[in-house]
Amino acid sequence: MKHFLFLSALFLSHTGVAAATTLQYASAQSISAISIATLQHTITQNLFSSFSHRQDVQTSNKSDTPSNTPLYGTALVYGEYNDDGQIGRNGGDVVEHPLSNIWLDWHHTNDDIIAGNLDRYDSRHDVITVGIYGNEFITPSGHYNWNFYGGYINGSLNNTILSSQEHGGFIGLHNKLHTHDFIINSTINTGSLKSKTDFATITDDYTNVWFGIATDIAYNIKLSNNFNLYPDLFIGYTWTKNQKQDEVYGTALQNHTFGFFEISPGLKATKHFGLNWFGTLNVKYTTILNTDKNLTINDTIYELPTIGDYTEYGIAIEKHTTNFVFNANINRRDGDLSGWSGGLNIKYVF
Question: For residue 88, what are the contacts with CB-CB under 8 A and spacing of at least 6?
Answer: 59, 60, 62, 78, 79, 80, 81
Report the pLDDT value the prediction gives residue 244, as an integer from 0 to 100.
Answer: 63
Q: What pLDDT sits at residue 70?
A: 37
- Note the pLDDT of residue 72: 36
Cβ–Cβ < 8 Å for 176, 145: yes
The answer to whether the CB of 317 falls within 8 A of the CB of 83 is no
d(CA 156, CA 39): 12
Instruction: Name residues of the chain where pLDDT drops below 50.
Output: 1-19, 53-95
State the pLDDT at residue 192: 94
**pLDDT tens figures, 211-250:** 999 999 999 999 999 999 999 999 999 999 876 655 555 5
- Residue 141: the pLDDT is 80
Cα separations in angstroms, 130 against 47, 119, 163: 10, 35, 29
Q: Reduced to 3 states, what is the DSSP secondary structure of residue 113?
A: strand
DSSP, collapsed to helix, strand or coil, labels residue 288 as strand
Contact in structure between 105 and 46 (CB atoms under 8 Å): yes
- Backbone conformation region of residue 339, classed left if phi is above 0, alpha if psi is from -120 to 50, else beta: left
pLDDT on residue 136:
83
What pLDDT sits at residue 140? 83
Q: What angle do CA 273, 276, 277 make, to 5 degrees?
A: 50
What does the pLDDT read at residue 97?
66
What local confidence, expressed as pLDDT, does residue 55 receive?
40
